[in-house]
Structure 1
């Protein structure tokens, strides 16, 4: 798992959610007009889909992007050429990148376009050519109150889905060398590694934006409207850059030591665990358990234990001071669970020990007791 802290900028308020690079003097030229029709999926307006179908279809086409220097972010397939849209700061300073797909394939990618003015880039992945891409909302803008999904790989947890709404429009700020303007403000939580992932309409599955930055305090994120940059991306897909701007990292994020990282992210891991259970993704939830826990509990037994759980809400949670590279998370949860054939609302106090195994943050142990 990438153990980098969020980069604090603009009076420690805004953060980009991946590796960041500064632009040098090379200017990125983008054709102002394109001929021919791009091979891009455009959604039919007004077509509503079940939420679980939208999540499943979106996750298949969102990837993790890794650079040689260890930076990590997200990207999504937008055309039939195998081209991914991502943030420029995710791939800054790299020509070749590694792609990890939702079905565990590892593919080679090449950056074919990157801007020094707008935080957007395109990565070509020959191994994805011919794959049906995500639908793009080319012209319509989202409105406040629209329900959205943010999909990406925050903190290295691939294919994470968070939900929220468009909570603001037209937001602007600067993170050198980029001026971010006309952004969507979203309530869907995002974290390091979300950068470059799609913001998706919960009702239609259309891509509305590119998740690009988060607010250090509270569940506030910011997305670039896809309609503002789709023409730039299509320009690079049609005419890839022969030479990329020489972008270098302006500020190398400090690495947290493992003790600090555990305390920083332990509550996030527990929340992510219950989100997976609520989405009935038992395989992924099981993957978050440590090795000793898995030895004591088979996947079949784990899954069976949660089949009667319909929904889990975390009412309260706090993290104890970490010791020996571990932290203790204590939470009060409300559970809608099936008892004697009927669903009842129960409350539990759960305690988890969180720590690293092979550089991956895991739930090492857990116990719970009912609250009467």
Structure 2
């Protein structure tokens, strides 16, 4: 790496969620909050201070951005990527996965999956990782047609410094930037003002005007105040060719140690604490945006057995707005964490909803290799 440029990418944790009722029980035969709501249907009742489209765009993009962890011959590597098709193919930087012996990706809901490199160009700094478990999932939209100009507003997604699901915003501050780093020849890059730093490499640069990927975040300075992205249109044909004709030898070599990759090696007390706190916030943010499928998916198997998706969804249909205002870890081990949150929820009928506060505690536990929300309890706060 050169003295003032380091490989990079970006991402932001959003918090939130939908909420309605008076208390939780320990048996979980009902939704997280189980009193009847006095609110009308979302189809006929507007949320207070309706969120701008930008927030929904960020959330939808984040769901398709992943963290990547790679086993190398002598160390591990961290980066980011994004799901670009329905085959489970992830676009990232070559410098993230070059010489990989094992690759694992972590999605926005903290699930971890094994991957394999199916195409790579070190010179262009582009690679594709196939994750079979993500086949059939909706990808993020890409844009190889729009003419990008200085001043266009953009968002950079990724996992800088290990902070999963981060987004930074800025503008295109320059175009057609050229430079070399070791054997990589960067040509015609977008220069961006959105801060990016270590761990951001491979994440998508999204054009704010249409919510589509226009670049792959690849390099930045040490202060994170300036970054560079590879235009997607430059490498689109290469990426598509790898997806159609995967390199089988490369795939085999890059998955030889998947079972020993860091994500699969188990949680520490610290990493479980971080992911548990994030997962509860993700749960509420999903509810708040009306994404009940994502919220339901992070519940433990016992909870889902006792509460059908239809019943779970019904418990939140009349929630207007909610926010997680405080979150903390009460206790944690390598397998389980207790997360305390304070919720502010707008609820009530007619045109005068009331603001209510709730204190809740959730148990988050490792289940079948992934963390899930197992139980919760709470009460209305004064």
2:316 corresponds to 1:306? yes
2:205 corresponds to which of 199, 208, 224: 199
2:122 corresponds to 1:112? no
2:287 corresponds to 1:284? no
TM superposition shift of 1:326: 1.4
TM superposition shift of 1:349: 1.5
Map Cα deviations across residues 327-370 of structure 1 (whole Å, 9 max, x no partner). Answer: 11111122223446753322221211112011111111112222
**What is the DSSP-based 3-state SS (H/G/I as helix, E as strand, rest coil) of the residue aligned with 2:320?**
strand
- CA–CA distance in structure 2, aligned partners of residues 305 and 277 of structure 1: 10
2:347 corresponds to 1:337? yes
CA contact (8 A) 2:81 2:90 kept: no
Query: TM-score of the superposition, structure 2-length normalised?
Result: 0.56
Correspondence for 1:93: 99
2:356 corresponds to 1:346? yes
> Which 5+ residue runs of structure 1 have no aligned equivalent?
1-9, 18-48
**What is the DSSP-based 3-state SS (H/G/I as helix, E as strand, rest coil) of the residue aligned with 1:308?**
coil
Correspondence for 1:209: 215
TM superposition shift of 1:289: 0.9
Correspondence for 1:362: 372
Map Cα deviations across residues 138-161 of structure 1 (whole Å, 9 max, x no partner). Answer: 5415648x3637489xx9x9xx7x
- CA–CA distance in structure 1, aligned partners of residues 172 and 92 of structure 2: 22
> Which 5+ residue runs of structure 2 have no aligned equivalent?
11-51, 175-179
**How many residues are matched?**
309
Map Cα deviations across residues 171-206 of structure 1 (whole Å, 9 max, x no partner). Answer: xxx999879996545479x997x8634332343123
2:144 corresponds to 1:136? yes
CA contact (8 A) 1:75 1:85 kept: yes
**What is the DSSP-based 3-state SS (H/G/I as helix, E as strand, rest coil) of the residue aligned with 1:309?**
coil
Correspondence for 1:75: 82
1:165 corresponds to which of 152, 158, 169: 169
Map Cα deviations across residues 122-171 of structure 1 (whole Å, 9 max, x no partner). Answer: 4699x99xx99622365415648x3637489xx9x9xx7x665228968x
- CA–CA distance in structure 1, aligned partners of residues 115 and 267 of structure 2: 31
**What is the DSSP-based 3-state SS (H/G/I as helix, E as strand, rest coil) of the residue aligned with 1:321?**
strand
- CA–CA distance in structure 2, aligned partners of residues 101 and 324 of structure 1: 20
Correspondence for 1:315: 325
CA contact (8 A) 1:84 1:123 kept: yes
Higher normalized contact order (CA 8 Å, seq sep 6+, divided by chain length): 2
Map Cα deviations across residues 271-327 of structure 1 (whole Å, 9 max, x no partner). Answer: 111121122111111111112322333222221111122332221211123136211
2:281 corresponds to which of 271, 294, 298: 271
1:231 corresponds to which of 224, 231, 234: 234
What is the alpha-carbon root mean square deviation over aligned residues?
A: 5.9
Query: TM-score of the superposition, structure 1-length normalised?
Result: 0.57
